[in-house]
Amino acid sequence: MAINYEQLKNRKFDEIVHTYTERDTMLYALGVGVGHEPLDEKALPFVYEEKLAALPTMAAVLAYPGFWIKDPDTGVDWTKVLHADQEIIIHKPLPPSGTVKATSKVDAIIDKGEGKGAFIYSSRTVTTEDGEPLCTLVQNTMARGHGGFGGSTERPPTPQPIPDTAPDITCELPTLAQAALIYRLSGDYNPLHADPAVAREGGFDRPILHGLCTFGVAGHALLKECCDYDVNRFHSMKARFSAPVYPGETIRTEIWKLDTGVAFRCRVTERDIVVIDNGFAKVS
């Protein structure tokens, strides 16, 4: 199996029309751990239908195209792919329910060389039914089983540096032991996150948390600590995935204030390992 650069770069995607309900919005928030403090009234609007609001990171599951890279026509060995980076750009606060649409596209394929793999950048802009942009999602997938196929050799974007100082803010948030089982109901049914046998085949002793669930926990921390839970102050977020999280672990988000926004990274406290790195968010 080998990547055909031109075929993959010009791959056509079907338009996805996605109708979601207030229940879906609350379920997503519960999946990333909102509500773990039942008396926190500032977090309540994300999990309670009274004055319901959508978490900004829910953008990542809207008009989701599915695990398309597994399709035979991509030429990609899907068993050797990793979700490397994720970015969300919020054009306006997400409605708590509605119908949206989006068409994905492959933006760039960077050939790291024989035996070094490849980066596949894809994106989609989610709009209302009337075509008004709500959010743009940019994903970088690392195809470990490829490289040397003759694709672009340009350098990938430089990751956000993390200051060599103590963080200005830290926020510890727990994850539930059943967090992956809840989060998957927002649309990512990869059995790696549910079936212990599949997890063992993948080299893990138990199912791992979805990377985008960890991303959502980080987004919750940023919304809480930098925006006082005001979704109008949350504009964009990007980060690199560096290690998996096991459901039930505690995620500490470390935040540095910058002139242009905030830098952040996430660490699992139980194992003292960085799980999200090189993060940056624009907040106001």
Which residues are part of the catalytic machinery? 188, 193
Strands 273-283 and 234-241, by their bridges, are antiparallel
Compute the chain's Rg from CA coordinates: 18
CB neighbours of residue 27 within 10 Å: 17
* H or E element in which residue 20 lies: strand 16-20
- How many residues does the structure list for the chain? 284
Whole-angstrom CA distances from 24 to 42, 73, 81, 183, 265 are 20, 32, 28, 11, 28
Strands 169-174 and 273-283, by their bridges, are unpaired
Token pair, residue 67, equals 């695990």
Contact residues for 205 (Cβ-Cβ < 8 A; gap 6+): 199
Q: Which residues pair with 274 in a beta bridge?
A: 267
Token pair, residue 136, equals 């743009």
Residues 17 and 97: their CA atoms lie apart, in Å, by: 13
CB neighbours of residue 232 within 10 Å: 12
Q: For residue 13, how many C-alpha atoms fall within 13 Å in the half-sphere facing its CB?
A: 24
Task: Give the orientation angle of helix 211-227 with respect to helix 22-31, to 10 degrees.
Answer: 90
Token pair, residue 283, equals 């907040």
